[in-house]
Structure 1
């Protein structure tokens, strides 16, 4: 229990009605979760406005309300606090309420279009292997030490983040690694957190349905670096042309990693095969089980983070050489008759091109590459033609199928994808709405030695149709089909 006045620090208060000298037991921004002695923060969301639910929160027990606009008829004995920005205030309040847990950990944020999940997962795996108890906040799973907690969003809400960070502190974690999505940054879910390192992996077209333009998307990512404290490190991919923009206003110390350009942390690929990567990393030779140029960048981000956090270089390199690939990221299996199947989360044009160019680099030349790909519904429709175009550029056969259609018609999504295909691409393409049937068809079309890429869902074990998630696992379906290939 804390006094309201103590958890309002940095909330940019503009007006107070009532007393802030009241005891608060929890913070909520969903009126349905309001209970006795809670403070309700009315946040304006993309779908609903929390201000419309102030009275409901009070009915459910809230004794204080934080909002951007005061009600026309305030209720007696309720404290109202008007602030400049409710979402920002909520972030600071959550941090204050849980006694600033981010300051008690070495907290690392990773942002970028591609690679976020891989980098944070590899960092958690690495530091755990080094004997340093760590926490993880990712798309796939949240972890406190080795204990797993299911994740529903790329970044949890700001109250959940601080709750989880406090649990990590309570359970003896020294480090925490978290994804920072562009949505989370602009919605202030990362505001008020004390980051020690922020990593920028890359940026390409994504989430324009939400941000409106690529410039807005860049600005969203940049906010993370703009708000870093002076003691933090900003670690950026110097090969990305937007890297300098990310850190032009940061107070943090800037460090760089790269394969091609000058950087603090450099690597060179010696060999890239299905068995892994042979690298020269900061002038030392290293083998890793991870595959592809994109994973070389991920490993550089991991290595650079370890170095700026003060890990011994030899210890760090030894641990990196033992890292296992991340589930659903270039995860490959082989059929009894020699067909290679690859499941990857690639759901942006840039990510798909990275994976397919990696396959191009490791193929022998005589085999066919068969690509199964779809696009998500209720998301940036502009990238759909690009995804099909890239699939046809590298694939010998392309099967356009359903991904997570959500509330859209999957056939309409596929038609959007087909707009990116020229006559040559159209000849390569088949449209099969059922994802399971598309995978089965890809396997039926394959010959020994061929490579099948199933892109877009990776680690996901569901398919979302009309708001309902049905069990569906690309790897599971692929395994079943491969067992039938003799």
Structure 2
């Protein structure tokens, strides 16, 4: 990308646009990281919570930056070109999309947002599309998948530069589609700016991230951004945009007038273009009748639970508008055995059903326990905690749900981060009678306790961390994997 290309991208003064347009210099890189600036780079100064790129302009000039984008006046010695814009974060998104060749335009883009279900739905979409010859990438909580490679994820939804680079790598790897988790915080911060989604999926909205959004209405408004940004053109030749919305969720109904796109509503309560009826859940899977418009199809999922019915409907709706028949989509859904850390059954020879799940919100925990109680014949153990430096109001709710929906609640640590784990637990148990739970701060000890107490036929749910292979104590990540802890216990006993 040449500096002259930036003239038509950036919002800046006419004078700066003329200066930009006059330069044919070929930029060597685009970055917001002062440490990665190289000769010929474009550096975008971002003011973050702990670091402000504007305070390091001389450093990036000395490293050879040729074009610098700022949102306030800066002083430096050197011959770099400095351009001021109203928002450097938006400029970063605009430049990133152009620098990497607008890769989302070359992919079928699925964006999935909502409190619970995003990871499972993106993986179901991936399975469906891959089964029918459409090589598909993933961007999400667990990892990014580019071609056949899996890359570690830092955030559920990466910042614009990383997102566009990843999408560009997908195009280079011959991916034809991408299923992407889009978090509420990412939408507010503009991390999805410049990504041209073809299909947007809404799963549900329950209490989460209120430490960031402050109010539930703000949280809803953040989710709604994905749908209001889905497209407003019906121009011949444009790709058709589709919103897939859970109509059983009252917030889903509020989204219906937020988008100009086509809408597929889905649910299990008698409303929606796409519905599941006559649902039967067992410890072997879930069966139901899928109705789309005036057609009905039997479905036999290996996945368990009503919440997975919703996940399957969302994935079906997302893929339905992309030239796949209902039979093809259902065949793929029926082949999925599960997603790591999402209602993951850990095999053992003790006849104890051990389930590891990412449920870390009140709604998520209640859904998982309700599914277990539908097939459990004996005791249900629930090992769960709450993360530190996150929303505090949900902590007593999580404790109450664990006690009310299991026979044996074992309350423990999650990722305490910089908080005292015992003080977190004090809040979790604050509304509980002392004789209704077992409290063990050490997570390994809590898991081992539940496994020691469990007898043949019992169920042990280990909730909150799912796929995570670490525990954050202070600011340090320590290796910790719930599944590994379970396997270690059974290996020693």
Tell whether the 8 Å contact from 1:226 to 1:247 is kept in structure 2 after alignment: no
Could you report, residue by residue, the CA deviation over 1:140-170 in whole angstroms, capped at 9, with x for unpaired residues?
A: 1111222211212111221111111112112
Residue 410 of structure 2, aligned match among 387, 391, 399? 399
- 1:463-482 matches, cutoff 5 A: 463-482=471-490
Match of 2:357 among 340, 344, 347: 344
Closer, same or farther in 2 for the Cα pair 1:448/1:304, shift >3 Å? same
Please say if 1:185 is aligned against 2:187. yes
* Unaligned ranges ≥5, structure 2: 233-239
Matches for 1:19-30 after TM superposition, within 5 Å: 19-20=19-20, 21=23, 22-30=25-33
Match of 2:307 in 1: 294
For residues 488 and 252 of structure 2, the distance between their equivalents in structure 1, rounded to whole angstroms, comes to: 43
* Conservation of the 8 A alpha-carbon contact between 2:301 and 2:335: yes
2:360 matches 1:357: no
Which residue of 300, 321, 330 maps to 1:317?
A: 330
Does residue 133 of structure 2 align to residue 131 of structure 1? yes
Paired residue for 1:45? Answer: 48
For residues 390 and 16 of structure 1, do their structure 2 counterparts lie closer, same or farther at Cα, with a shift above 3 Å needed? farther
- The answer for the alignment partner of 1:59 in structure 2 is 62
- List gaps (5 residues or longer) in structure 1: none
Moved more, 180-189 or 75-84: 75-84
Matches within 5 A, 1:134-283: 134-230=136-232, 231-282=240-291, 283=296
User: Does the CA-based 8 Å contact 1:339-1:448 persist in structure 2?
Assistant: yes
What does residue range 308-457 of structure 1 map to in structure 2 within 5 Å? 308-364=321-377, 367-421=378-432, 423=433, 426-457=434-465
Q: 1:36 aligns with which of 34, 39, 52?
A: 39
In structure 2, C-alpha distance between the alignment counterparts of 1:249 and 1:271, rounded to whole Å: 34
SS in 2 for 1:296: helix
Q: Secondary structure at the match of 2:38?
A: coil
Q: Is the partner of 1:204 in helix, strand or coil?
A: coil
Q: Does the CA contact (< 8 Å) of 2:289 and 2:299 recur in 1?
A: yes
In the alignment, the residues of structure 2 paired with residue 268 and residue 429 of structure 1 have an alpha-carbon distance, to the nearest angstrom, of 37
Shift in Å, 1:475 = 1.0
Coordinate RMSD, CA, aligned: 1.7
1:98 Cα shift?
0.9
The 2-side partners of 1:253 and 1:214 are apart by 26
1:66 positional shift: 1.2
Supply the distance in 2 between the matched residues of 1:19 and 1:31 (Cα, whole angstroms).
Answer: 24
SS state at 1:178 partner: strand
Structure-1-length-normalised TM-score: 0.94
User: Which SS does the other structure have where 1:403 is aligned?
Assistant: coil
Instruction: Kindly tell me the number of residue pairs found equivalent between the two proteins.
Output: 478
Aligned-partner Cα distance in 1 for 2:404–2:461: 14
Q: Which of 111, 115, 135 matches 2:117?
A: 115
For 2:487 and 2:42, locate their aligned partners in 1 and report how far apart those are by CA, in whole Å. Answer: 50
- Cα offset, 1:50, TM superposition: 2.5
**Which residue of 2 is the match for residue 78 of structure 1?**
80
